[in-house]
């Protein structure tokens, strides 16, 4: 069976891509990162999702002690109720996060003999992070072809971004068909007992569920 490494955060998009990968005939192998984010809620949900799908996973702990993001530094405020403008990169941006995550994923994929890495990045309903844009993934793919054994041997690990150009509503509709357990996902940047409803991630999620005409099972509870 084909193998794919899945970058799993516990959020809605990454939960969806496990099911997309499975629907394309891949056996998923998940990577979950504890990178010093403000709360552990998304990590716990990611583990639940991996277990629910009976996927092997690694929880990789990495330190970014230099911070540089309101997602890493609890003394900084998470932006609330802002109008999301893709030209403005907000303080929740974590320096080079997807470059770091994809590098781990590429390493795991090559060691495992996996041909694919799936990442649930989105460049439509997103916060404007540059490492979620198509031009970044094209360049990163080119780097893997030059910088990895599988790459120079003509059998490069392929980066799949199946959600990149979809709206959040399209993602949710697709995920509902694939039976993604959205009740297990957590999107809020704040990590209180309930989603705050005001951070970018909550706003984008709510807009997506509303547009898809689906009740968010996390809010419903």
Positions touching Zn ion (CB under 5 A) are 188, 190, 196, 199, 202
Residue with Cβ nearer Zn ion (3 or 80): 80
Report yes or no: 145 and 106 within 8 Å, Cβ to Cβ.
Answer: no
Least CB distance from residue 80 to Zn ion, whole Å? 8
Tell me if 98 sits within 8 A of 122, measured CB to CB.
no
**3-state DSSP assignment of residue 159:** strand
Minimum CB separation of residue 44 from Zn ion in Å reads: 16
User: H or E segment at 30?
Assistant: strand 26-34
Closer residue to Zn ion (CB): 114 or 202: 202
Q: Check: CB of residue 45 under 8 Å from CB of residue 16.
A: no
The span from the CA of 193 to the CA of 178, in Å, is: 27
If the CB atoms of residues 109 and 202 are measured against Zn ion, the closer one turns out to be 202
Instruction: Write down the least CB distance from residue 187 to Zn ion, Å.
Output: 7
- What is the residue whose two structure tokens read 């991630």? 201
- Which residue number, 98 or 201, has a Cβ lying nearer to Zn ion? 201
User: Residue 71 CB, nearest distance to Zn ion (Å)?
Assistant: 12
**Nearest approach, Cβ of 195 to Zn ion (angstroms)?**
5
Rounded Cα distance, 107 and 118, in Å: 13
Residue 194 and residue 82 in contact, taking contact as beta carbons nearer than 8 Å? no
b/e per residue 154-176 (b: at least 16 CB within 10 A): eebbbbbbbbbebbbbbbbbbbe
- In sequence order, the β-bridge partners of residue 59 are 32
Nearer to Zn ion, 178 or 196 (CB): 196
Query: CB of 61: closest distance to Zn ion in angstroms?
Result: 24
């Amino acid at each position: 069976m084909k193998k794919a490494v899945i970058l799993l955060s516990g959020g809605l998009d990454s939960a969806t891509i496990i099911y997309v990968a499975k629907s394309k005939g891949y056996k998923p192998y998940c990577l979950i990162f504890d990178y010093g984010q403000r709360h552990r809620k998304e990590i716990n949900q990611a583990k639940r999702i991996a277990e629910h799908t009976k996927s092997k996973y690694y929880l990789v702990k990495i330190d970014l002690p230099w911070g540089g993001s309101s997602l890493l530094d609890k003394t900084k405020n998470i932006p609330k109720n802002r109008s999301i403008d893709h030209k403005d990169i907000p303080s929740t941006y974590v320096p080079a996060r997807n470059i770091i995550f994809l590098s781990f994923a590429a390493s795991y994929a090559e060691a495992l003999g996996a041909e694919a890495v799936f990442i649930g990045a989105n460049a439509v309903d997103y916060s404007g992070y540059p490492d979620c844009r198509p031009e970044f993934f094209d360049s990163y793919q080119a780097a893997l072809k030059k910088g990895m054994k599988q790459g120079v041997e003509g059998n490069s690990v392929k980066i799949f971004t199946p959600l990149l150009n979809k709206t959040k509503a399209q993602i949710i509709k697709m995920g509902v068909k694939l039976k993604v357990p959205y009740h297990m996902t957590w999107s809020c940047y704040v990590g209180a007992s309930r989603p705050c409803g005001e951070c970018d991630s909550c706003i984008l999620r709510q807009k997506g569920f509303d547009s898809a005409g689906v009740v968010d099972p996390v809010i419903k509870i």
